[in-house]
Amino acid sequence: MAKSRDSYNLKEINPRLSKQWHPTKNGNLVPKDVTPSPNRKFWWICDNNHEWLAKISSRTHGSGCPICTGQSVCEDNCLQTKNPELSKEWHPIQGSLILFLARLPKIFYGSINTIKKKLLFDAWSISNTNHKDECMKILFLGKNETDKNYFCNLIFNESFDETYLGKVWIWRIFLYIWGFRKNYDLIIVESIMRFCNLFKSRSNFVIPSWVSCEIDLGYDIGSQSMSKKTLKNNLRKINRGNFSYSITKDPDDFDFFYYKMHLPYISKRHGDTAIKKSYKDMKKSFENGELLQIKEGQKIVAGVIIDYKIMDSIPRITILGVLRGDFKYVKRGAIIALYYYTIRYLKQKKYEKFSLGLTRPFFSDGVLHYKLNWGAKIVCETSHAFLLSLSSKKKYLKNFLSCNPFILKDKSNLTLATFSDRNYKECPYLPKDKNKLKLYGLNKITSFSL
């Protein structure tokens, strides 16, 4: 959507309505980026933290929160809450039957929409037409625009052109992969792993959409993968910055962390590839655990949520953040202190291991490499995957593959796929000692020639 003019946007025309704009569910758009009457639905949040979808045009004509106005039902406004005495007289059979019949058209319509969402894919055509040497064309088929943006930045790392081709039914994926191979150099499909495995071949690779990293707390901090020199430098940064930590379960501390640390940090760190989790989901994660805050002197500059219930037996880091997303705190060692004190704190609580959360499966990914440097081991827990279908041998594609080894899952084993060609650079994150990959949880390396 093209950005609106400075004087004609929702923030200027209707500041009262702008206050109910949802801070995380509208991508990177904010009220000043949209006009007061686009024919598109956006997310809103009221003072009672109810979330709903509605067009700006309907909002400007007076529509409000459907729950607060009694048009939708939730725990806050149901009969049981509003009138518990009257709810005791509810007939268990006839009352439920009337409700079911009243909702039947909506249920039927909703079921159709749910099926369509599962069977329809968004199709994007992406190319680096401005490149001087050669043009590389990619077809992306998936349901998540964030995944598409991630691959665009990973492959091109420069300006590129993209065209939205519309919706594609799942049974047409076969036609796109086998029928359009001559039109594209690389076809990427984002779906469940079982579906992607149907296309697996020598030129079609199935990689998990996410991998998780776990740290064994039975070892000394950083002793598994981090060099003594790096560990010494990290500790020196922590001491020089006078970093310390504290633990809190105060809801006000969570609100400050979510809005002033987490959202600004991931927006600046990851841009249009950032995955912004909702306030409601993260509040639940906070209630399942606690917030570890990093202090520089007496000032709180970073934090991380530790969730003790999201996984069966081990704690898991869900989200982290840095004050105002300001990277001066990162340079001074705030993230180093965050990892160090989280590991030390959970060791003191006698946990055997903990999860560092999800990371992309490319070995060139800086976040993955940073976690491995702290002694993390890769495990695969996702049911979704990417299918990479290679259909050309252009220089641009060869350079991408040689610089970005990726993780493959074969039953319970994890393999690192590398692509070698003496004319192209190798991924700088690959360790010189290949036996070190076993410490990372990888069973073997499979090398493919370009």
Amino acid at 296: E
Query: Distance between CA atoms of 25 and 48, rounded to whole angstroms?
Result: 17
Domains of the chain (ranges; CATH) run 10-90 (no CATH), 119-210+382-449 (no CATH), 218-351 (3.40.630)
User: What's the pLDDT score for residue 170?
Assistant: 81
User: What's the pLDDT score for residue 88?
Assistant: 55
User: What's the pLDDT score for residue 401?
Assistant: 87
Regions of the chain with pLDDT less than 70: 1-8, 36-39, 61, 70, 73-116, 129-133, 158, 222-225, 381, 423-429, 450
pTM of the model: 0.70
User: What's the pLDDT score for residue 133?
Assistant: 64
Q: What residue has token string 């109810």? A: 50
Give per-residue pLDDT as tens, 176-232: 777 777 888 899 999 888 888 888 888 889 999 998 888 888 888 766 667 778 888
Which residue from 389, 367, 385, 252 is spatially nearest to 319, judged by alpha carbons? 367
User: What's the pLDDT score for residue 328?
Assistant: 92
